[in-house]
A and B are shown apart, each in its own frame.
Chain A
Amino acid sequence: MQIIREVTVNWVLGLHIRPATHIAKLLRKFSCQVRLVKDNESCDAKSVIQIITLFAPLGDRIKIVADGWDAVEATDALVRFFREYSDEEAIPKTTY
């Protein structure tokens, strides 16, 4: 089964090594293949180096494409991660 969902990078520092590490670790539990797609590039979401060299700064839209019997669960977990993970070291933007 193939599942496609879209997420936004919400971290001030972009999809850098810290969130990438969490993503790769989180996906190891699943057997499906997961790719992150941005514009014309894509990468294996289970590989930290591939995620960080995909280069996705704050505000980028990324497509999650998962293939396999547990694709629904994997995408759900990933979408939740993109929504809920707060990158603590990141500096919040100030508005008055």
Chain B
Amino acid sequence: METKKGIPVFGGIAIGEAFVLTSKAYRILKRFIPQEPAAIQTEKDRYRHAIQSAIDELAAIEQSTAHSKDISVIFQGHRLIIEDASIEHEVMDRIENSFYTAEYAVYNVMWWHRRKLKVLKNEYASRMLSDLEDIEHRLLRHLLGGQPEDIPSQQKPVILIARDLTPSQTALLPLDTVLGFAIDRGGRTSHTAIVARTRGIPAVVALGNCSTDVCSGDTVIVDGFEGSLIIQPDTATLSHYSEIQHQQTVRKTKIFRLRHLPTETVDGFSITLRANIEDHTEVKIAIDNGAAGIGLYRTEFIYVSHPDPREEVQFEIYRQAISDLQGHKLVIRTFDLGADKMGGEELNEQNPFLGCRSIRLCFEKMDVFRAQLRAILRASALGDIDVMFPMISSLEEVLQAKAILAEVKAELARENIPFNHNIKVGIMIEIPSAAIICDILAREVNFFSIGTNDLIQYTLAVDRINERVAHLYKPGHPAIFRLMQRVVEVARANHVKVCVCGEMSSEICYLIPMVGLGLREFSMSPAMIPEIKDVIRRFTRYHAAEVARRVLACQTHEAALEYLNEEVVALR
């Protein structure tokens, strides 16, 4: 038995027979042709013939992958590279002036192009490198008259092991028979990672040299949670993983059945679970997972993908989202962007998270802000839409945002454009000052949404992307629970609704005390909803309140977490 560690790219356990995909590496030797015109001509013809058949082959793959534009355009790129006059010119030059054989000329030309990328040693470069290798390999194969590579064609399900999957391999793989991936190279954005994620196949990449350590036919286990590959597991390990895999399947089917049951605690306290989305196409996924609407629509994606996001473009997107929601609620958060993404000119800020971003930037880019509010208001005539302002730190900001909203409303009324006059207005509670003065803010808004990620980051002064301080990012810190408790109490007294939309809401251990504090609305990534619903249906509100009381008494994150983990275990 041998265990190898890599980077997990999609969670899950796969147990099965290995199929090692060997890409035949051609060993191209430096060989010369006779220095005479006839030989040069023959060699050039060989090259022309090879590129023509490579181009034909690529055109056929383009055709067969036409259903997926993302994939087919990659092959179109390969074809354009092969057709590229500069490559042909370089190859011809080496044949004519250096008297290289066509294959050595190809190898040599591609080597020079590859070399530029190889020195960069990062993920983007390695991605492009795999495209170039794919092209080179195809050209050489056509020159040398080889057969296309073996692809597992048998019906038997296998775990696919390879040094790296080239784009052509991934496109042609019979993915229905692939149980898991274990790949030597790559990272979180490599071709394999993306295929694995979209198809939901457990996968581990960056495993070093697993493709040489495993033989086709070996029994292997891919652990997509831990990021490990176990080769020839012993009986104990095998039964351990079979058990995990079995539990997983049972759980998945069970949870899936729960989808349309009410989300309530054992004692009937009902909870609303909504989804966080970045793109309106995710609405359908959210509904399929049993979401009671969208609790946080991060509109930044619209801004980033349409840098001139005119009112009409946005209106169309919101209209589509509300129609897909079939009567459920949609909470739209206005642009929450840093200056770099919103202006073109980059402000060189020393402290971008404390800088001119989000609502502050919207106040500077008034035309953009007003266009968004107009689009949201117009869509509000078509369904249940709330508007929410991010990064609020003071009363003045709430008043200013509301004043602009009122102006835009008046404008629409003058133009006789329909909108919901009573659209509900909410604010993100993600800056400690807003949590502390929430009693003042409560009089001005209809709802609060606690963004736990930023609230933790700003309260604890920790940038969790900075690896040196990431360990200080502690959701269980007493300060966070105290702020949350305050917001819940103030909201209750002022009849203001509160939702939690950060990552904390989809972590079971924090969910229980949050329900205990009296929170009843949560918004999370669509895929988490079934599992969280399952958890909620296992405890009572009374018990959750007790858990909250005990957590509030904990003095450190570690103490809170230790206790909460016990609670989670007891729940299973």
Contacts and interface: CB of A to CB of B under 8 A. Distances in A.
Interface of A: 8, 10, 12-14, 16-18, 20-22, 24-25, 44, 47-50, 52-53, 55, 57, 83-84, 86, 88-92, 94-96
B306 interface: yes
Contact of B189 (A12, A52, A53, A86): A12
A44 B90 CA distance: 15
Given A17-B131, A55-B117, A84-B305, 13 more contacts: A14-B124, A17-B74, A17-B78, A21-B73, A47-B86, A48-B81, A50-B86, A52-B131, A55-B120, A86-B304, A89-B70, A94-B278, A96-B454
B336 A18 contact: no
Contact of A10 (B127, B298, B304): B304
Q: Looking at chain B's contact residues, is the secondary structure mostly helix, strand, loop, or mixed?
A: helix
Contact of B451 (A10, A14, A92, A96): A96
Nearest to A10: B304
Contact of A48 (B80, B125, B430): B80
A44 B89 CA distance: 14
B415 to A, nearest CB: 28
Contacts of B194: 89
Contact of B453 (A20, A48, A96): A96
B124 A55 contact: yes
Contacts of A24: 80
B116 interface: yes
Interface string B67-78: 001100110111
A18 B128 CA distance: 10
Given A50-B86, A53-B117, A95 B73 contact: no
Contact of A96 (B69, B128, B452): B452
Interface of B: 69-70, 73-74, 76-78, 80-81, 84-87, 113, 116-117, 120, 122, 124-125, 127-128, 131-132, 189, 194, 278-279, 298, 300-301, 304-308, 336, 344, 430, 451-454, 501-503
B86 A44 contact: yes
8 contacts: A10-B307, A21-B76, A47-B85, A47-B86, A48-B80, A49-B84, A49-B113, A55-B120
Contacts of A13: 124, 127, 189
A82 to B, nearest CB: 9
B77 A83 contact: no
A52 B300 CA distance: 28
Given A10-B304, A48-B81, A95 B127 contact: no
